[in-house]
């Protein structure tokens, strides 16, 4: 994959696109934001999942270049849509966050692409945020001071503790889809999701439920005050021009 990535970068990302998945208010279905998700349609190999090529890009030192491409597209798309899309979430890999040049990289992106940070949410996985915890806190705080908002991605799957969570400068948590997917299974699974929503409420963090696929999950999330839902039930990831909400 690394060789294919190299070629793709040389070809200026001809086969890569940024798709968007809506995050909606579960009651009104109003769009609150979109998550930007990288897609790669290789001419010979077909679709290659980011869960395969992102780790390769991290290993090969190419994650910065890919993220640059995402910022480029997101800034263009935000401009093109005016205020129709309130904000866009961009995934920041742990490898990039922990790079010593990370803050400088983000500052350069803001400058080069005339990005309005108040319309961008940076998603950091719980696992990445907890690694080198103090360094992560310092960097996330600096990003917040630049005007970005921060989401803790894949919440519940990392090794966070309440102690960490209290100290992390984040604005929202994204409850991992493995928990949402089990809402219908048993009482324990539901209690776990409720607990995550309660913790968020106590810490005054916004909540996004990931991977919402059924009305049963949706109704449970509404009853328990989840702010925003993202999943196949309310919208698949799609190119900006084809979004159906």
Could you give the string, one character per residue 169-198, with x where binding to ligand G holds by CB under 6 A and - elsewhere?
--------x---------------------
Task: Assess 202 for contact with ligand G (CB under 6 A).
Answer: no
Pairing verdict, β 120-125 and 88-91: parallel
CB atoms within 10 A of CB 202: 11
CB atoms within 10 A of CB 152: 28
* Alpha helices, H only, 13-49: none
Binding residue count for ligand G, defined by CB under 6 A: 20
Q: What's CA 203's distance to the chain center, in Å?
A: 20
Task: Assess 8 for contact with Na ion (CB under 5 A).
Answer: no
Could you give the string, one character per residue 57-76, with x where binding to ligand G holds by CB under 6 A and - elsewhere?
-------------x------
Task: Assess 126 for contact with ligand G (CB under 6 A).
Answer: no
CB atoms within 10 A of CB 47: 9
What's the number of CA atoms in the CB half-sphere (13 Å) around residue 191? 3
CA atoms of 144 and 27, how far apart (whole Å): 29
Q: In the set 154, 165, 221, 229, which binds ligand G (CB under 6 A)?
A: 154
Task: Assess 9 for contact with ligand G (CB under 6 A).
Answer: no
Minimum distance between the CB of residue 153 and Na ion, rounded to whole angstroms? Answer: 5
Interface residue list for Na ion (CB under 5 A): 153-154
Interface residue list for ligand G (CB under 6 A): 21, 37-38, 49-51, 54, 70, 91, 93, 153-154, 177, 210-213, 231-232, 237
């Amino acid at each position: 994959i690394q060789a294919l990535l190299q070629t793709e970068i040389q070809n200026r990302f001809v086969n890569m696109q940024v798709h968007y998945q809506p995050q909606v208010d579960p009651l009104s279905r109003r769009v609150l934001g979109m998550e930007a998700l990288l897609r790669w349609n290789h001419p010979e190999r077909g679709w290659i999942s980011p869960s395969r090529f992102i780790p390769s890009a991290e290993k090969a030192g190419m994650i910065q270049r890919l993220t640059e491409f995402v910022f480029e597209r997101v800034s263009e798309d935000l401009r093109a849509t005016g205020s129709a899309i309130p904000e866009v979430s961009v995934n920041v890999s742990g490898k990039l966050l922990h790079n010593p040049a990370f803050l400088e990289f983000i500052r350069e992106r803001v400058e080069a692409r005339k990005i309005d940070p108040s319309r961008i949410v940076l998603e950091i996985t719980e696992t990445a945020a907890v690694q080198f915890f103090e360094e992560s806190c310092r960097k996330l705080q600096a990003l917040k001071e630049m005007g970005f908002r921060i989401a803790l991605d894949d919440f519940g799957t990392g090794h966070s503790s309440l102690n960490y969570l209290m100290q992390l400068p984040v604005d929202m948590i994204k409850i991992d889809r493995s928990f949402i997917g089990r809402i219908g299974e048993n009482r324990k699974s539901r209690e776990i999701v409720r607990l995550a929503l309660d913790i968020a409420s106590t810490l005054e963090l916004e909540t996004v439920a990931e991977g919402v696929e059924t009305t049963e999950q949706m109704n449970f999330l509404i009853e328990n005050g989840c702010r925003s839902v993202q999943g196949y039930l309310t919208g698949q990831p799609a190119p900006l021009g084809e979004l159906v909400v």
